[in-house]
Structure 1
Amino acid sequence: MFVTELRFECFADTTITAAEKAINHYLESLRANGQILGREFAVAFNEGEFKVRLLMPEKTSLATRHNSPWTKQALQQLTDAKLLAPREKYIGQDINSEVSNTEQPSWQVLYTSYVHMCSPIRSGDNLLPIPLYQLPATFNGDHKRVIRWQTEWQACDELQMAAATKAEFAALEEITSHQSDLFRRGWDIRGGVEYLTKIPTYYYLYRVGGENLASEKNRACPRCGSKAWRLDEPLLDMFHFRCEPCRIVSNISWDHQ
């Protein structure tokens, strides 16, 4: 991933309130399309201009060819707020994050965790994130539905990792059960991505708990009951199960690895 700085200059008299609203609207449109990553963006005002540093999946993430209809409309709102189109200054590569996938994958997986800010659509060949704007729009011209699901999954993951409150059990149910609301929405997103890209796309079903290693190895697909989903060798050293009809991948319980 890469770090860049955007600078917004005024071309006529305006107000901090108008500029703030237009800039934040623009940044949110980029986030909804996967062009920038993260949830909070510190916008600084100094010497007549606004500056913000952003994390991007690729060097070219802010290229106009990637812009969604919302972003195009947000650019016009910048003009209405008496701001010039943003000027970009490349800072460098982020040393603490993953690189993005660059090759056409043979399969894909919807996978995230509370420590990841990158795209939750990953190549099944190498588990590298696929920038969302490289995919056809999944909802109303961009990918806000995917990002909303990711935010909810990460919130549940953080709760269960903390293991400090009763909320842990409800959160764990959401990310481990094929009957949860989070699974249902994610599995639908997975299906939409597969339909649009024509690439087999799977849902990662998190697994923890279980009685012992033997029972874990013999557990069935929770959705269809098939035991034929266990793999001889784990995919990417992580996925020990893959159900083709249900489009689900999963792991042997982290408690027994």
Structure 2
Amino acid sequence: MHVVELRFECFDNTTITAAEKAINGLLEAYRANGQVLGREFAVAFNEGDFKVRLLMPEKSSLAKRYNSPWVNAALAELTTAKLLAPREKYIGQDINSEVSSSDKPSWQLLYTSYVHMCSPIRNGDTLQPIPLYQLPATFNGDHKRVIRWQTEWQACDELQMAAATKAEFAALEELTSTKSDLFRRGWDIRGRVEFQTKIPTYYYLYRVGGDSLAAEKERPCPRCGNQEWLLDEPLLDMFHFRCDECRIVSNISWDHL
């Protein structure tokens, strides 16, 4: 990932309210298209300029060729707010985040966790995140539904990791059940990405619990009942099961590893 600073200059008299609305609208459009990462952006005002630092998947993430229709409309709104197009200042590579995938994968998967800000579409050969704007728009011109699904998955993951309230059990049901709303929406996103990219795309189904390691190895695919989905060797040292019919990968319960 890479860090960049955007500077917004005023070309005429404006107001904080107008500038705030225009800048935040652009940042939200960038986020919905996967061009910037994270949920909160600190916009600073000093000596007549507005500045914000952003985390991006690649150095070129804000290139015009990646813009969605919403991003282009938000850029046009800057003029209404009496702001010039943002000037970019490259800060450097973020040493605490993952490197984006630059190679075409042989397969992909939908995978995230509450500690990840990067794209939830991963290269199946390396597990590196694939920038969303590198993919065809999934819904309505960008990827906001993918981002929304990721946010919901991460919220459930954080609840179950905290293990401090009864909400943990509802969260686990969403993460581990093929009958949950979270699975249904994610599996549909997976299918749409596969259809558009023509690359096999799988859904990661989280697994905890179970009676024993032996019982775990014998459990079938929870969607179709496939008894042959246990792999001889785990994929990427993480995924012990793969059902090619259902496009699901999963792990032996973390309680027994």
Q: TM-score range by the shorter chain?
A: over 0.9
Q: How far did residue 124 of structure 1 move?
A: 0.3
> Runs of 5+ in structure 1 lacking a partner?
none
Separation in 2, partners of 1:71, 1:97: 25
Separation in 2, partners of 1:62, 1:106: 27
Q: What letter corresponds to residue 184 of structure 1 in structure 2? A: R
Matched with 1:51 is 51
Q: How far did residue 169 of structure 1 move?
A: 0.2
Matched with 2:183 is 183
- SS of the equivalent of 2:191 reads helix
Separation in 1, partners of 2:64, 2:159: 38
Q: What letter corresponds to residue 26 of structure 1 in structure 2? A: L
Q: What letter corresponds to residue 171 of structure 1 in structure 2? A: A
**% identical equivalent positions:** 82
Q: TM-score, normalised by structure 2?
A: 1.00
Matched with 1:27 is 27
Matched with 1:196 is 196
Separation in 1, partners of 2:75, 2:147: 21
Matched with 2:105 is 105
1:84 aligns with 2:84: yes
1:39 aligns with 2:39: yes
Q: TM-score, normalised by structure 1?
A: 1.00
Separation in 2, partners of 1:236, 1:11: 52
Q: What letter corresponds to residue 198 of structure 2 in structure 1? A: K
Q: How far did residue 225 of structure 1 move?
A: 0.3
Q: What letter corresponds to residue 158 of structure 2 in structure 1? A: E
RMSD of Structure 2 on Structure 1 (CA): 0.3
1:234 aligns with 2:234: yes
Separation in 1, partners of 2:234, 2:19: 51
Matched with 1:18 is 18
- SS of the equivalent of 1:82 reads coil
1:116 aligns with 2:116: yes
1:127-167 deviation per Cα after TM superposition (whole angstroms, max 9, x unaligned): 00000000000011000000000000000000000000000
- SS of the equivalent of 2:136 reads coil
Matched with 1:69 is 69
- SS of the equivalent of 1:117 reads coil
Ranges of 4+ aligned residues in structure 1 off by more than 4 Å: none
Separation in 2, partners of 1:105, 1:46: 44
- The 5 Å alignment of 1:96-245 reads 96-245=96-245
Q: What letter corresponds to residue 38 of structure 2 in structure 1? A: G
Separation in 2, partners of 1:249, 1:149: 18
Q: How far did residue 68 of structure 1 move?
A: 0.3
1:205-230 deviation per Cα after TM superposition (whole angstroms, max 9, x unaligned): 00000000000011000000011111
Separation in 2, partners of 1:155, 1:46: 35
Q: What letter corresponds to residue 61 of structure 1 in structure 2? A: S
Separation in 2, partners of 1:10, 1:247: 50
Q: What letter corresponds to residue 152 of structure 1 in structure 2? A: E
Separation in 2, partners of 1:94, 1:228: 41
Q: What letter corresponds to residue 190 of structure 2 in structure 1? A: R
1:37-96 deviation per Cα after TM superposition (whole angstroms, max 9, x unaligned): 000000000000000000000000000100000000001100110000000000000000
